[in-house]
Amino acid sequence: MSATRTKRQETGALSDEELRKMDAYWRACNYLCAGMLYLQDNPLLREPLKAEHIKNRLLGHWGSDPGQSFTWVHLNRLIKKYDLNVIYISGPGHGAPAVLSNCYLEGVYSEIYPDKSEDIAGLQKFFKQFSFPGGIGSHCTPETPGSIHEGGELGYSLSHGFGAAFDNPELIVTVVVGDGEAETGPLATSWHANKFLDPVRDGAVLPVLHLNGYKIANPTILARISHEELDALFRGYGWTPYFVEGDDPAAMHHLMAEVMERCVLEIRDIQQKARDKASQSPERPRWPMIVLRSPKGWTGPKEVDGHKVEDFWRAHQIPILDPKTNPKHLKQLEGWMKSYKPDDLFDKKGRLIEELRELAPKGTRRISANPHANGGLVRKPLELPDFRKYAIDVKKPGQIEVSPTYTLGSFLRDVMRQNMTSFRVFGPDETASNRLQVIYEATPKTWMAKILPEDADGTDIAPDGRVMEMLSEHTLEGWFEGYVLTGRHGFLSSYEAFVHIIDSMFNQHAKWLEKSKLELRWRAPISSLNLLITSLVWRQDHNGFTHQDPGFVDVVSNKSPHVTRIYLPPDANCLLSVADHCLRSTNYVNVIVADKAPHLQYLSMDEAVRHCTKGIGIWDWASTDAGSEPDVVIACAGDIPTAEALAATAILREHCTDLKIRFVNVVDLFRLMPETEHPHGLSEREFDSLFTLDKPVIFNFHAYASLIHKFTYRRRNHDNIHVRGYKEKGSINTPLELAILNQIDRFDLAIDVIDRVPRLQSSAAHLKEWLKDEIIDSINYAHQNGIDRKEITGWKWPL
C-alpha cells in the first residue's frame, strides 16, 4: 500500500503545526546532506551559486540520506513525547550525511568540534570537511558523535544494535537497515537475534528496513519482491512488520508518525508485561519492525539530462555529477538546493531557527549525545576474582597435564557471577566443546525460543542465560562489538580455523579503535575485545585439513600496534594471567591462542605471572647455558610447539651433554618486534641479549613461519633465525604425525639443531640417524594403530 491523503486523514497522527515543523526540520537535514556533497563555500546560498563554491572532487552518497533523516526526525518527536532513551545505527553504506546533519542541527557537533559552530562560518567548515582531504569520511566514522557503527563494510548494523540492547533495559536501539545491506549473509542471519532478546532485562531493537530500491547500479532483492512475500518473510523471522510506503512527504509524515508511535508503545507493552511477570519465564515476543519504502534520493533531482535520477540507482551517489564545469548542471544544483528553502530554515547568522531547534530533544536525550554511543562514559570496570585462586599447583615443570581452557572456564565462571549485568561470553555453539562448560554453573545459554522437556537434560538454555551461542560468528562478533561499544565487557571463543569468518569484522573494529584512541579524546576508552582462539591446528588431527589454519594471527598482525595484542600462553597458569590482564584492559583487540586439550604444565603461578609480565623469557630449568654463551637458542611460541621444543631439548640434553642450549619462550608475540614498531617490542639490546648476535636460533612457532620472519627481519641475527611452523600439510593424522608433516616435531627440531651447530654435524651423526628412524617409526606406528606411541603421549620433562 502507499500513503495517501485518505490514510492521512484516518490516522490524524500529526497536527498541521507538527507536520509543518517536522517537514521543515527534515528539509533542513536534506539541505545539509546535499551541502556536504557539493559545497566548500557559500553554505546557505546567500549569493548566487558559482563554480568556485563547488568542491573539486565530489565524493559521497545521497541516496539513503533523506529516508534516514526522515526516520531520525520522527524518533525525535517520540523521544520528547515519551522521554525515550534512544541510539541510532545507520546501516546503509556511506550513510553518514544523514547522521551528521542531525548531529549538527542538534548542536552536538558544534559542542564537540567548536570550529564547526552553528553559524555561517561553522557551517562552511562543516560542509567542506566532508569527504575532503584532512576532513572526515562518508561513513559514520568514530569522529561522528552518536555513532557506534561505521558501516564501512555492510551487514553488521543489526547485530551491533542487539549487542547494544543486551543488559540495557531502558534503551531503544533504532537500526536503519539498507536494502543493499540486507542482501549480505551477516545481516540475513542477524534477524534471528530476536530469539535472544529478553524483554525483562534487555532493551529493545527497532529495525527500520529502508527499501529505496537500488544498490550502486542494480535493484535490490527485497525491494522487488511482493508486499505479501516481504510480509511473510519477516513474520517468518518472528517479527511484526509495519509498512510505511510512498513518496508524498505530507502523507508519509502522518503514516510514519502513526506507525513509529505504535511500535514504541508495543515495545513498552511487551517489556511492561514481561517485567510484571518477571518471576515467570517470559514468552518470546514478536517485536515490531518498520519497512520504510521511499524513493532513492527522495526530494532530489527527478532527472538529469533526461535520465531518471530520483527513485533510481543514479541517485545512489552524486546525483548531479559535474556542476563545477557544466553551467546548466550548476543551475540545476542551485535550484535543487534552494527547493529546501534554506532562508526559511536558518536565521541571519546561519543558525537553525528557534522553532525548529525546539523539535530536538535536550541534553543527553539527543540521539547524537546519548552516552551509550560513547560507551566508555558509562563503562564500569569488572569486579574480578583473584585469578591466582584458580592456579594449577605446579611443583616441577612438565609433570602433570590439564586442559588450559577448562582451567580458564572456572575463572570466567566467577567473573560472570560477579558481573551479572555487564559481562557476557560469546561462542558459536562451542563453549562446551572449547572446555569452558564450567561457566554454565554461573549461567545457562541465552534462549528465548521454544524449550522442550528433554532440554533439561544437559542443554543448559534459559531466557535469562548469559552465554551467547549461535552458529554465526558474524552475529556473535557483532553482538560482542555492540556490547563493548556501549560500555560493557565480554569474551568470545572460536575454533581457530573458522575465526577467519570474522576477519573483516575484526578489521573494522580495529580501525575504529585506532581512530578513537589516537585522535578522538572525547571518546572514552571502551573494554577490549577479547578473543580466545582454541581448538588449534595441531589438535585438529581428527577433523582434518579443513580445520587446520592458524592464520588469524597474521591478519591481526597487520593492524595498528596501538590496538592489537597477540598472546600465546604455554600453559594454564600463563593463560589465567593473560586472561586477567586482557579483561582489565581497554581499547585493544586481545587475541589469546590456547588449546583446549590436556597439556603439560610448566610454571607455578608466581613464575607464570613474572613470565607473562615480561612477555618473553629464558626458561633456566630447560637451558644448559648458565653463565656462558649458548651454542644454540631453541625458542618457541604456542603450547604445542613449546611441548615439542622441550622434548627436542630433552633429547639433545641427554645425547649431547656438552651442548649449551638456551631455551626461550614467547608469550607476547609482539615482543619480537623492534620497540620502534610496536609498544611491546624489545629494544635491540634486549633482543640480542636473548637471541645472541651470531648463534643459530631454532624457533618453533604455532602458526605460519613467515610471521616470525616479518617481526624479526630487522634484527641483527635474523639470518640465523630458522622458523618452523604450519606448512599447509595435514589430514586425519595423529598429533605427532601432523607435527612431523610440518616439521615442528621434536625429532626434526633436534635434527635442525645438529645441522646448525657446526661441531655437531659430524659428532652427532649417529644421533641424527636415530632421530630419522624415530620419525619413520612414529609414522608407521600411527598408520598401523591409529594413535601415537605411549612414549610420545606419556612423555614428561625429565627430572
Distance, in Å, from the CA atom of 513 to the CA atom of 590, rounded to the nearest integer, reads 12
Distance, in Å, from the CA atom of 132 to the CA atom of 551, rounded to the nearest integer, reads 36
Q: What is the dihedral of CA 22, 28, 34, 37, to 10 degrees?
A: -120
Residue written as grid cell 553504506: 93
Distance, in Å, from the CA atom of 704 to the CA atom of 729, rounded to the nearest integer, reads 12
Q: What are phi and psi of 267, to 5 degrees?
A: -60, -45
339 CB neighbour count, 10 Å cutoff: 15
Distance, in Å, from the CA atom of 670 to the CA atom of 673, rounded to the nearest integer, reads 5
Q: What is the enclosing helix (H) or strand (E) of 74?
A: helix 65-82
pLDDT value of position 4: 37
CA nearest 492: which of 142, 89, 163?
163
Looking at domain 616-793, its CATH architecture is 3-Layer(aba) Sandwich (3.40)
| Residue spans per domain, the chain | 5-373, 387-599, 616-793
CA nearest 531: which of 496, 571, 563?
496
pLDDT value of position 9: 39
Q: Name the burial class of residue 371, with classes exposed (0-12), middle (13-18) and buried (19+) by CB atoms within 10 angstroms of its CB.
A: middle
Domains 387-599 and 616-793 share a fold: yes
Per residue in 408-443, pLDDT (tens digit) is: 999 999 999 999 999 999 999 889 999 999 999 999
Q: What is the CATH number of domain 387-599?
A: 3.40.50.970
CA of residue 463 relative to chain centroid, distance: 25
Name the DSSP letter for residue 136: B
480: three-class secondary structure by DSSP: helix
pLDDT value of position 544: 85
Residue written as grid cell 635434527: 751
CA of residue 441 relative to chain centroid, distance: 28
pLDDT value of position 365: 98
Enumerate the β-bridge partners of residue 531: 492, 591
Q: What is the 3-state secondary structure (H, E, C) of 609-655?
A: HHHHHHCEEECHHHCCCCCCCCCEEEEEECHHHHHHHHHHHHHHHHH
pLDDT value of position 8: 39
Distance, in Å, from the CA atom of 204 to the CA atom of 248, rounded to the nearest integer, reads 30
Instruction: Tell me which residues of the chain have a pLDDT lower than 70.
Output: 1-12
The answer to whether 473 and 426 have CB atoms below 8 angstroms apart is: no
- β-pairing, 171-178 vs 401-402, is unpaired
Strands (E) located in 369-427: 401-402, 423-427
155 CB neighbour count, 10 Å cutoff: 26
Q: Kindly tell me the sign of the dihedral angle through the C-alpha atoms of 58, 62, 68, 70.
A: positive
Q: Is the pTM for the entire model greater than 0.85?
A: yes
CA nearest 597: which of 571, 627, 577?
571
Looking at domain 5-373, its CATH architecture is 3-Layer(aba) Sandwich (3.40)
